[in-house]
Amino acid sequence: MPVAINAHQLGRMLSRTVGHMGSEFVEPLHGIRLEADGTHLYAIACDQYTIAVARYRHHGLDGEPFARTIPAKALRSLREWTDAQHGSDTVTLTTAEGRLRLSAPHGELAIAVTDGQKFFDWRGMLHGVLLQDTDGSAPFPVLDTRFLSRFADADDKVRVRTADGRATLIVGEDFLGAQTPLRSRSEGFGVHLAEDVEQVIADWTPTLTGANPVAMPAGIPAERRPHYEVTQDPAETARILLRQTLRSSHDLFEEDRDSPAAVASHASAGVMAWSAYRFLDALHIADPKLAAEVVSAVAGELESGEIGEFAWDAASAAGHDPEKWREEDEARWARQRAAAPGKRATAGGRQQAAPPAGEADGS
């Protein structure tokens, strides 16, 4: 100790695991376990039916590894304290007798913990699930959806591996989880569920008879949208930004150097596209769900056609003077027109000859 972690990442680790916390009747599981080794800080929670482990590559462990369970009654205070910090602030965790201390530039928090509290071997358990052999086992487990829903905060997408009668493995980015299957008839509910694939085939064949069997698509087909609609998918947005960066870089070197306005336009487009990609990529690494929400919100703003008004309001809210910017741009455009009286600027930044009188309005 101590171990250092980004405040936003600490809050995210808590969010990804808190739904798996055990009940108050099983004290060792009624909380979130924090453990640190030489590489990662881990948050572990288990309710005997599911287990969730989130990890973060910390900034450095100064001392010996540690393990403490944060009791459930302290989690609300911890989350409120974490949310009050700036997301990029470094939080330092240290242990003292009966205490876990968190320090950040904008405050400190001490949580009462039980030193030496026993905890189950979560590493060994998940290692067994990770290596279990699914050969010879029909992948038809019975899963309680009430427990399955607890993995909603694990990641925006997860991979799943199942085996009949064995735990289902759930994998996200820096996240590992498992859910135990139910034995429906012996557990008193879900008795209506089919016991095996053969029974499902027998039950559904009368309904599906007459349909020609077809192969399932490899993935959900991409939605076909009009070209003017803005995507709400972060991955597609990243692809568009990267392609725009490459296109602008290519056009920059292909452009006629006698047209400095066009060269500047391509350079600006490339710089903005690359900057937006890097910001989106960093946000997706920090919080995939927030990245998806931002991309969706931006798509709506772009489709509204009012981004000029949004930018004006945002500039004013940030303490800038957009009216002064407009006046400076008007002055710059006036100088450009004076320097080239026979030219006019187009929206793309290129210069073209001014049309004869009457042509501009289509007359």
Show me where the domains of the chain are located: 1-186, 234-353
- Residue range 156-180: average pLDDT? 86
Q: What residue type is 77 in one-letter code?
A: S
Chain Cα centroid distance, residue 161: 22
Q: In the predicted model, is pLDDT for residue 74 greater than 70?
A: yes
DSSP, residue by residue, 94-138: EEETTEEEEEETTEEEEEE--TT-----HHHHHHHHHH---TTS-
Instruction: Name every residue whose Cβ is closer than 8 Å to that of residue 169 and which is 6 or more positions away in sequence.
Output: 129, 130, 132, 160, 161, 162, 176, 177, 178
Question: Out of 62-66, 77-81, 108-112, 313-317, which region has the weakest mean confidence (pLDDT)?
Answer: 62-66
pLDDT higher than threshold 80 for residue 199: no
Quickly count: other Cβ atoms within 10 Å of residue 100's Cβ: 22
Confidence grade of residue 304 (pLDDT, cut at 50, 70, 90):
confident
**Cβ pair 339, 252 in contact under 8 A:** no
Q: 342 falls in which pLDDT band (50, 70, 90)?
A: low
Widest pairwise Cα distance in the chain: 89
Architecture of domain 1-186: Roll (3.10)
Contact between residue 18 and residue 78 where contact means Cβ atoms under 8 Å apart: no
Q: 351 - beta bridge partners?
A: 345
Question: pTM for the complete prediction?
Answer: 0.67
List the one residue out of 14, 51, 154 whose CA is nearest residue 6.
Answer: 14
